[in-house]
Amino acid sequence: MTGIKNIFLLFLLLTTAQSLQAQRERLNERDYDIESRKYMYPCHWICTGDTLKCDTTDDGIVGHLIDGFWFSIYETPQELWTFYMGYNPSPDTGLMLPVTNVSRAEIDTFCLRISRDTRRQWRLPTQEEWLYVYHGGMFNEGYRYCGSNRPEWVAWYMGTSGGKLQEVGQRIPNEVHIYDMLGNAAELVTDGDSTFAIGGCYLDRSPKKNPNHLYTPAPPEAQSFRMVCHEPQWIHEP
């Protein structure tokens, strides 16, 4: 009987794990490319876990309207910025380097132009949205750093960057498939009317003394940003 009981418990654990993985994939698999006249920029839909509405179709398929938002997978690259703005303010230039040395007014103009082109309302993330994504959203696995217990795997800081800004997406992503939220360029967010940078940058010392490394000041040439678009999604299931 003990052997049968152990087999049953193992089956139950595997079934539960598969169910959780299926739920995770269902909520977390949506990617979107900002499609312009030329440029495609990847974003990921981040689920907040709030069900806004449920509906059932004639064939028995249940739809759940789940709250969430699109979030830039990468820090905004200079190529995308130059495409929409016609100039590059970054001291260190490179197509896939994060754009830096930008003001809030410039960012608002940039987001407005992309919003008109894509017919979606893009903007600077709030501090709350940014921190939610930084910690892995619904799928936080308790890492010491953003996406890993090894800072050199996820972050560009002085010990790994050589004191230079790096191209986006070269380290491993966090639990919701977002890159470079720790180190590389610090990222501008909003909190009411104020704008400030969080996340640390490539000029910082090792984050081991400050695991979250969120509020270290960064000069303008080490500040970039991401975009967010609030948009609930219908999740269909039998």
Which tokens go with 166?
A: 């790096």
Instruction: Please state, in angstroms and rounded to a whole number, the distance separating the CA atoms of residues 169 and 98.
Output: 10
Tokens of 66: 């789940």
The least confident of 56-60, 84-88, 98-102, 103-107 is 56-60
Q: Which residue has the tokens 């610090």?
A: 186
Contact 26, 62 (CB under 8 A): no
Label residue 234 left, alpha or beta by phi (over 0 means left) and psi (-120 to 50 means alpha).
beta
CA distance 42 to 122: 13
Rounded distance, CA 90 to CA 97, Å?
A: 9
- Torsion sign, CA atoms 81, 171, 177, 30: positive
Length of the chain in residues, anyone?
238
Helix (H, G, I), strand (E, B) or coil at 125: coil
CATH code, 30-237 = 3.90.1580.10
For the chain, the structural domain boundaries read 30-237
Rounded-to-integer distance, Cα 111 and Cα 76, Å: 11
Confidence bin at 219 (pLDDT 50/70/90): very high
E strand or H helix at 203, and its extent? none
| Helix extents (H) in the chain | 2-28, 78-85, 104-118, 127-134, 151-154, 158-161
Checking if the pLDDT of 83 tops 50, the result is: yes
- 230 near 69, Cβ under 8 Å? yes
**pLDDT classification of 15: cutoffs 50, 70, 90:** very low
Percent of the chain surpassing pLDDT 70: 82
Residue found by looking up tokens 């990222």 in the block: 187
Mean predicted confidence (pLDDT) in 88-117: 96
pLDDT exceeds 60 at position 215: yes
